[in-house]
Structure 1
């Protein structure tokens, strides 16, 4: 039960901080951010047997795709919280340190670069984006914030659960 509680808190909490950071990047800095409607469109096409798209923006819109995108975003964040705990072990969960969480947060960018972006038509690591280096830099910063947030939420979970 401790594992599930902490993994949920770490993953969901870090995803919330990630989203607040992305909002700042979009509004405050005027840089591109995540579009969970398009992510939801990608996920919503999967049960229909469509996993890869030339352009997810050109793919037919599906009912509920925004809700699907946000739901999958948080479920993946929670899964990452559980994976981090499983990799680091219960001792880390009781006394979290920054570096494992930050490293893990940075590694999670690879899922977007090597799976999501190519399957949604953006190429490996957004290579087909108009400014791929800018997109990569923003995504790396997002995932660095996610890693730091995982550590902070792990500290809170450890304080609450022990």
Structure 2
């Protein structure tokens, strides 16, 4: 149970780091952060049997789509952390190392590339966007930052446990 609670804290922290990167990226590069309201819209349409859209921004809005999207975003971050802990074990929680967390962050980019982007109309790995390679690089960087956030959150959690 302690491992589960730790993974929840780590996943939440890593997702916060990823969101912080989105804000920094906007300031440094002028790239807007992800619109999780559109993710909520996509998920909301799934309840009605629609899993793929030509362009999610043009789809009918869903009540509370922003709340749904942001909630899903953090839930997914927690699930990814739970999977990392399941793969690496409690030893990684006691003595976190960067390589497994960073590698896992990179692996998680498969979720948007193969599920979210195609379902929302952007194509596999953003192939239907105006600048697919730029979108791919940004997704890879963002998920790498998530991986570093997993590592940093695990270190921070250990620091608080030691207090």
TM-score (norm 2): 0.95
In the TM superposition, what whole-angstrom CA distance separates every residue of 1:46-76 from its partner, at most 9, and x where no partner exists? 1111111111111101110011100000000
Where does the alignment leave 5 or more consecutive residues of structure 1 unmatched?
none
Where does the alignment leave 5 or more consecutive residues of structure 2 unmatched?
none
Larger mean Cα displacement after TM superposition, 24-33 or 74-83: 24-33
Q: Please identify runs of 4+ aligned residues in structure 1 that moved more than 6 A.
A: none
Aligned partner of 1:82 in structure 2 is 82
The offset of 1:32, in angstroms, is 4.3
| Structure-2 change in CA distance of 1:86 and 1:161 (3 Å) | farther
2:52 equivalent to 1:52: yes
The offset of 1:33, in angstroms, is 3.1
CA RMSD of aligned residues (A): 1.2
- For residues 43 and 28 of structure 1, the distance between their equivalents in structure 2, rounded to whole angstroms, comes to 31
1:118-157 correspondence to structure 2 within 5 Å: 118-157=118-157
Task: Give the SS at the match of 2:128.
Answer: coil
TM-score (norm 1): 0.96
- For residues 92 and 29 of structure 1, the distance between their equivalents in structure 2, rounded to whole angstroms, comes to 34
